[in-house]
Chain A
């Protein structure tokens, strides 16, 4: 995309060098200026604030905020949740893509819409549905209490809510990609006697690997950063059920700005790394869906 725009620009200048009239220079300045101002106010300033606030009281205070046991627990919990959710949703995404892209069946487009459903639902609702099922006054609440199983205000609830929210990410990348690549090579492999698994690992997987990486990093970024859905099911127990985004809220509301922005700076770095990997994947020629 970027190279195409650059090429068009250079071509135009090569063929029509006298095109820079006062109007074109002015409109160019206007568009670039307005875009940069808008992004500066809404995006760059907040990003810079995160780091400025985190080191406001010096680097030592910044580093010290990570030795707080509750902060360390929040980081551990977020990593645990992502370690459970991302592989499961990756497996789901691959299965969904195989079923949808490799076969023709009735009601396929409706099926695809159902998979995309979590993207259209408010995060608060994504968390609430589990509270209605497993919360104390929910459908299974009494039974769960008798059996002494805790889902809401505990790790399973946080995992479920995160799973709901990040559910479509891998499937969304793989389905269009695999549809576009077609079935010819897989059919050839099967006809030549390869088994299903062998066909998948030796033929399909190498073709879709960049789409898979793309889906996984987006899924991971959302899983680690989810706030609304997790906030509803977590119960905000310090050191126990607070993920990093929830811990940011608590520290912020306690006016512990260095602590809040220190944790926020980690999540911002995660977002930056995600975007860097995304850009690198796009350089291989893969374009996200």
Chain B
């Protein structure tokens, strides 16, 4: 039987591993287990009644649909922004590069009320969309806008390092040999950054599905129409319907696990691909 850990001259394994395990269990693992246990204590029929309720289905549709749309928008614009930051030099580039992380650092409640104000009917941007009949605030479009902002840094920050890895001499060689711009993009740039783009897409999507703070201000929160799943959980908790909330929470938790798995697989695939391309 091999030992749990390999021998080392360094001290402190027992103390640090013990403290880490204790803290991790107390703060994260046991509370999460309590959530799963509570929904498991429900009869499966009761569980299905909650998670397949029309109002719940409506909330999944909005949460997943808007998250998917937002991640897709970021796939395009995140790439364009990453490309701009890596390939072009222009005044203010460094400041913009630093500001990309703003949605990480900015509290979600702040981005929520700010976006709502900007995209409201009389807001800075909303007033120009109003004549075209486009209502952003208090509709699913607003939800998508908020989720796009939240997901943007994930995409840019994942694609940026991958774009820096693209071998410029390959591009130049291809161009010298008569390849058009689009051909160079499709055959040289895209294969190198594709794993990063998919990882960024998944990260942005995973974050968007669970997002709460920045969405609830701009969404209007109408049942069946503009109500996201996290909000439905909050409503159930406020009604002291703990079991219903736990059931919906378990569904979301399961989805988070699948996303986490997908991200890990994508990253492994990306690494293997880079190694293969490097050869």
CB pair B234–A187 under 8 Å, yes or no, is: no
B106: Cβ under 8 A from any A Cβ: yes
Q: Looking across the interface, which residue of chain B has its beta carbon closest to that of A252?
A: B113
A36 to B152, CA, bound (A): 13
A81: Cβ under 8 A from any B Cβ: no
CB pair B211–A122 under 8 Å, yes or no, is: yes
CB pair B87–A128 under 8 Å, yes or no, is: no
CB pair B81–A38 under 8 Å, yes or no, is: yes
CB pair B110–A267 under 8 Å, yes or no, is: yes
A77: Cβ under 8 A from any B Cβ: no
What is the 8 Å Cβ interface bit string for chain A, positions 259-272, against chain B (1 contact, 0 not)?
01100100110111
A274 to B99, CA, bound (A): 11
| Interface locus among A60-68, A142-150, A205-213, A222-230 | A222-230
Q: Beyond A5-B89, A31-B88, A137-B240, is A103–B27 a contact (Cβ under 8 Å)?
A: no
CB pair A5–B90 under 8 Å, yes or no, is: no
B167-208 contacts to A (CB < 8 Å)? 168, 181, 206
CB pair B101–A35 under 8 Å, yes or no, is: no
Q: From residue B89, how far is it (CB to closest CB) to chain A in Å?
A: 5
Partner of A1, one of B160, B211, B233: B160
Q: From residue B121, how far is it (CB to closest CB) to chain A in Å?
A: 15
Q: Beyond A49-B114, A92-B19, is A225–B107 a contact (Cβ under 8 Å)?
A: yes
B38: Cβ under 8 A from any A Cβ: yes
Q: Which of A35, A45, A113, A227 has the most CB of B within 10 A?
A: A35
A274 to B110, CA, bound (A): 15
CB pair A122–B77 under 8 Å, yes or no, is: no
B250-271 contacts to A (CB < 8 Å)? 252-253, 256-257, 259-260, 264
B108: Cβ under 8 A from any A Cβ: yes
Q: From residue A174, how far is it (CB to closest CB) to chain B in Å?
A: 12
Q: Which of B118, B145, B230 has the most CB of A within 10 A?
A: B118
Q: From residue A251, how far is it (CB to closest CB) to chain B in Å?
A: 9
B60: Cβ under 8 A from any A Cβ: no
B49: Cβ under 8 A from any A Cβ: no
Q: Beyond A121-B210, A125-B233, is A227–B108 a contact (Cβ under 8 Å)?
A: yes
What is the 8 Å Cβ interface bit string for chain A, positions 26-56, against chain B (1 contact, 0 not)?
0110011011101101111111011001000
CB pair B110–A50 under 8 Å, yes or no, is: yes
A278: Cβ under 8 A from any B Cβ: yes
CB pair A42–B16 under 8 Å, yes or no, is: no
Q: Which of B29, B38, B104, B110 has the most CB of A within 10 A?
A: B110
Q: Beyond A128-B237, A225-B107, is A160–B256 a contact (Cβ under 8 Å)?
A: no
B164: Cβ under 8 A from any A Cβ: yes
B25-45 contacts to A (CB < 8 Å)? 27-29, 31-32, 34-35, 38
A123: Cβ under 8 A from any B Cβ: yes
Q: Looking across the interface, which residue of chain A has its beta carbon closest to that of B153?
A: A43
Q: From residue B241, how far is it (CB to closest CB) to chain A in Å?
A: 9
B residues touching A (Cβ–Cβ < 8 Å)?
Answer: 4-6, 8-13, 15-17, 19-20, 23-24, 27-29, 31-32, 34-35, 38, 77, 80-81, 83-90, 93-94, 96-99, 101-115, 117-118, 123-125, 145, 148-149, 152, 160-161, 164, 168, 181, 206, 209-213, 217, 230-231, 233-234, 237, 240, 242, 245-246, 249, 252-253, 256-257, 259-260, 264
For the complex with contacts A95-B16, A135-B242, A248-B109, 7 further pairs of A-B residues with Cβ separation under 8 Å are A45-B118, A120-B260, A123-B230, A124-B233, A167-B24, A167-B28, A218-B104
